[in-house]
A and B are shown apart, each in its own frame.
Chain A
Amino acid sequence: MADIVAPAYRTIPIIPELKPGAMEGKGPFVASDKINEALGFPGHLVDDWHDKAIAKMGDLLSRYRSLKVYMDACVHCGACSDKCHYFIGTQDPKNMPVARQDLMRSVYRRYFTLPGKLFPKLVGARDLTKEVLDEWFNYFHQCSECRRCSVFCPYGIDTAEVTMAAREILDSVGYGQKYSNEIIGKVHKIGNNLGLPGPALKDTLEGLEEDVKDATGVDVRFPIDVKGAEVLLITPSADFFAEPHIDSLIGYAKVFHATGTSWTLSSMSSEAGNFGMFIGNYEQLRTIAMRIRQAALELGVKRIVVGECGHAWRVAYSFWNTLTGVGDGADPNDRFAQMLQKQLDHRYKQPAHICEFTWDMIQDERLVFDKSKNDKYVITFHDSCNVARGSNMGGYPGGQFDIPRNIIRAVATNFVEMDSSTIYERTFCCGGGGGLLTDDLIDVRVKGALPRMEMLQQVKDGHGVNFMACICAICKAQFTKVLPIYGFDRKVIGGVHQLVSNAIQLGVK
């Protein structure tokens, strides 16, 4: 990894010139037979991959309105062409959202539209060859499904939907990505992405209790598998041991402790992240999410709260009700969903984000903070892509932007925003989302972080910012890795609840 260097900042963030082929052959590792077969996919590229892939595409076009409309509607206006962080960082034209979509659209035109069948050259249609399939594998794994392009598209075309469809087609012909598929295998087998078994998890939590006791003198508990607890906390498994994730986990525990909330983790369902979304497979997405439903039913909890995790919060907020019934408003005859929804306490949103929980408690004046504990920091906030563009908090438009910022302002004094063209729904992905957080993709990850690093540098130089808070496990892991490459201290990145943890006063109320 020694040869990985950060691209130079753009002096004025202008649109870079094209470098065709710059990221060719920079795709991820291919999954082994064993990894693919564990998920029910063919082990390796099947002989009749061409026909199978086209058939799968037809199947997806009939099941997803998004894909169908998005294949037809693009007019090549170019509104999205300079919006992708991977394009900005790599200058490879195939990383422009429209060009990435066209990798699939060209095949769609050839096999599913009359002009493409009659005059392929005229409308940019092409046969699905092995080269095209390889190109799909390469470039559809240089998309983090962050949806920034969709914000600017006049028709709302979401490249994430196209990427997911492409990955699902690739999986269906035995051409899966190692990283995502291996991790999904671990969730099915063990219950979390890291493959941390129940006993090890319990050990870790006991160790944490001791650490917090040593640091604060207070018995803050980290309960697991407690039947009848009020709150089930579902959090990314990185929170259990990775830095700086663990500091946020301590923050959640302190909030629960200080408010006297009975809560529990689940050893069977110890993962908020859902890589089923990354590979675009509804069945996988659903099977993974079903563990949460099962844990909620078995433990008899009243509320489900989700920890700091971007894609996970999108899945939880936007998809859990659909997939598993975690939510409200199911049809009275919908026995599957009603079974769970009758158990949940609907005075609260189900599921709730930990930031919603904490902010409610702050508003109810049930938490006391000593802001000076965070005075060593000048803080900025990085909006994580899937929270910003694929979810909500607080039940009103924009709540997902206000609530984490409100919390930061409640627990710290020095807060500044980064450039307005890179926050809220215009935020840039960290560069590691959507199944790209793997060392075999480090080159694209470093380059994809460029736009965010430029803006961080700006507030560092202008305001002395030394802490970038976020609410996503992938952002935390990605930035920890790439910050030093850009000349920052790795500890600049951290969670919102890490700040909460620093400032919270235990045993005061």
Chain B
Amino acid sequence: MNTLFAIFIYFSTLVFVVGLLQRIRSYAGTPAPLKIPTTPAPVTSGGVMLRMTREVVLFESLFKANLWTWAAGWLFHASMLLVVLRHLRYFTDPVWGWVVFIQPFGIYAGITMLLGLFGLLARRFFVERIRYISTPSDYLMLVLLIGIAASGLLMKFAGHPDVILVKNFFIGLMHLSIQPLPANAVLYVHLSLVFTLLLIFPMSKLLHAPGLFFSPSRNQTDNPREKRHIASWAVKLESEK
């Protein structure tokens, strides 16, 4: 079982890293031939950085669009961030001070993450428009995340596995050696789901995370009259004439 998990974890992490890098490279390498920022469009690059920061941190556009979706979505994402940071303790030795500090908040975040996810799932079931556009994978993605959060919380509040062993296992993997995992069914489920998520990340809608940074309607400076913007393939049209 230890070896099986080690192989799966290595494999999915590899797919995640290579797949994501490949995707980012392809976004970055594809030209944006025209200036298409959407209003309110900043006219300076500093303004664009501020706008992107607001989008990433506060989900500004979603806030304008729909308060309920924003509330559930933001709660889920912010909670997940805390939960992920909390998990750094399994990969660092000694554990960094601020990671120790956030440990208790990370537990509450696990609960609020679940709340946010159920909110998002409820919308898919009960709002006619959202139900119409939902594909099976949209539901499964939420179920996967709910499974991750629920199994994680289950280990905290019932049937605590030996976290020292878990930590040894991951530190071991980081040094290419396979240490024993505690034999705990919930832990097995938790790890399987988490690394399944990483595995599908680079080929699913989870690409919205890197995608936002490459979205021309959000990341372009609104200065088309002041500076000529032209794609390499478009310059070739000029040399033809």
What is the interface of chain A, defined by CB distance below 8 A to chain B? Answer: 15, 17-18, 20, 61-66, 68-70, 72-83, 93, 96, 98-99, 102, 113-115, 121-124, 147, 150-158, 161, 282-283, 286, 317-319, 321-322, 325, 327-331, 334, 336-337, 349-351, 388-390, 392, 395-398, 400, 424-425
Any A CB within 8 A of the CB of B45? no
Given A151-B61, A321-B229, the answer on whether A63 and B38 have CB atoms closer than 8 Å is no
Q: Which residues of B contact A337 (CB under 8 A)?
A: 228
Among A17, A283, A328, chain B packs the most CB atoms within 10 A around the CB of A328
State whether B225 touches A317 (Cβ < 8 A).
yes
1/0 contact string of B1-31 vs chain A (CB within 8 Å): 0000000000000000000000100110011
State whether B32 touches A318 (Cβ < 8 A).
no
State whether A76 touches B135 (Cβ < 8 A).
yes
State whether B225 touches A321 (Cβ < 8 A).
yes
Given A76-B205, A155-B218, the answer on whether A321 and B212 have CB atoms closer than 8 Å is no
Bound CA span A123–B208, Å: 15
State whether A388 touches B39 (Cβ < 8 A).
yes
Given A65-B31, A65-B214, A151-B38, the answer on whether A15 and B65 have CB atoms closer than 8 Å is no
Any A CB within 8 A of the CB of B143? no
Given A64-B33, A322-B34, A322-B35, the answer on whether A69 and B211 have CB atoms closer than 8 Å is yes
Of A72, A158, A321, A325, the residue contacting B217 (CB under 8 A) is A158
Any A CB within 8 A of the CB of B93? no
State whether B238 touches A150 (Cβ < 8 A).
no
> How close is A164's CB to chain B, nearest CB, in angstroms?
10
Given A73-B205, A351-B225, the answer on whether A156 and B38 have CB atoms closer than 8 Å is yes
State whether A79 touches B69 (Cβ < 8 A).
yes
Bound CA span A62–B121, Å: 34
State whether A68 touches B27 (Cβ < 8 A).
yes
Of the A-B pairs whose beta carbons lie under 8 Å apart in the complex, a sample of 10, sorted by A's number, is A63-B31, A69-B211, A73-B205, A78-B123, A78-B129, A114-B203, A153-B65, A282-B234, A397-B42, A397-B43
> How close is B116's CB to chain A, nearest CB, in angstroms?
13
> How close is A21's CB to chain B, nearest CB, in angstroms?
12
1/0 contact string of B180-217 vs chain A (CB within 8 Å): 00000000000000000000100111011001101111
State whether B30 touches A65 (Cβ < 8 A).
yes
State whether B228 touches A321 (Cβ < 8 A).
yes
Bound CA span A63–B205, Å: 21
State whether B66 touches A350 (Cβ < 8 A).
no
State whether A77 touches B36 (Cβ < 8 A).
no
Q: Which residues of B contact A161 (CB under 8 A)?
A: 36
State whether B34 touches A318 (Cβ < 8 A).
yes
Bound CA span A398–B140, Å: 42
Bound CA span A319–B237, Å: 15
State whether B215 touches A156 (Cβ < 8 A).
yes
State whether B38 touches A389 (Cβ < 8 A).
yes
1/0 contact string of B132-159 vs chain A (CB within 8 Å): 1111111010000000000000000000
State whether B222 touches A153 (Cβ < 8 A).
no
Q: Which residues of B contact A154 (CB under 8 A)?
A: 55, 59, 61-62, 65, 73, 208, 212
Which 8 interchain pairs have the tightest Cβ spacing? A73-B211, A124-B135, A152-B65, A79-B65, A156-B217, A329-B227, A156-B218, A425-B39
Q: Which residues of B contact A65 (CB under 8 A)?
A: 27, 30-32, 214, 216
Size category, B interface: 35 or more
Q: Which residues of A contact B35 (CB under 8 A)?
A: 318-319, 322
State whether B136 touches A79 (Cβ < 8 A).
no
Q: Which residues of A contact B165 (CB under 8 A)?
A: none
State whether A115 touches B204 (Cβ < 8 A).
yes
State whether B211 touches A72 (Cβ < 8 A).
yes
Q: Which residues of A contact B36 (CB under 8 A)?
A: 66, 158, 161, 318, 390
Residues of B63-119 whose CB lies within 8 A of A: 64-66, 69, 73
Which residue on chain B has the smallest CB distance to residue A324?
A: B238
> How close is A207's CB to chain B, nearest CB, in angstroms?
35
Any A CB within 8 A of the CB of B127? yes
Which residue on chain B has the smallest CB distance to residue A78?
A: B130
Bound CA span A286–B47, Å: 30
Q: Which residues of B contact A79 (CB under 8 A)?
A: 61-62, 65-66, 69
State whether A330 touches B132 (Cβ < 8 A).
no
State whether B224 touches A157 (Cβ < 8 A).
no
State whether B134 touches A76 (Cβ < 8 A).
yes
Q: Which residues of B contact A153 (CB under 8 A)?
A: 61, 65
State whether A150 touches B217 (Cβ < 8 A).
yes
Bound CA span A270–B140, Å: 56
Any A CB within 8 A of the CB of B40? yes
Bound CA span A18–B30, Å: 37
Which residue on chain B has the smallest CB distance to residue A152?
A: B65
Bound CA span A161–B231, Å: 17
State whether A123 touches B129 (Cβ < 8 A).
no
> How close is B220's CB to chain A, nearest CB, in angstroms?
10
Bound CA span A75–B133, Å: 10
Q: Which residues of A contact B69 (CB under 8 A)?
A: 77-79
Bound CA span A75–B77, Å: 14
Which residue on chain B has the smallest CB distance to residue A396?
A: B43
Any A CB within 8 A of the CB of B230? yes
Of B134, B137, B208, the residue contacting A155 (CB under 8 A) is B208
> How close is B231's CB to chain A, nearest CB, in angstroms?
8
Given A74-B205, A96-B129, A156-B61, the answer on whether A322 and B33 have CB atoms closer than 8 Å is yes
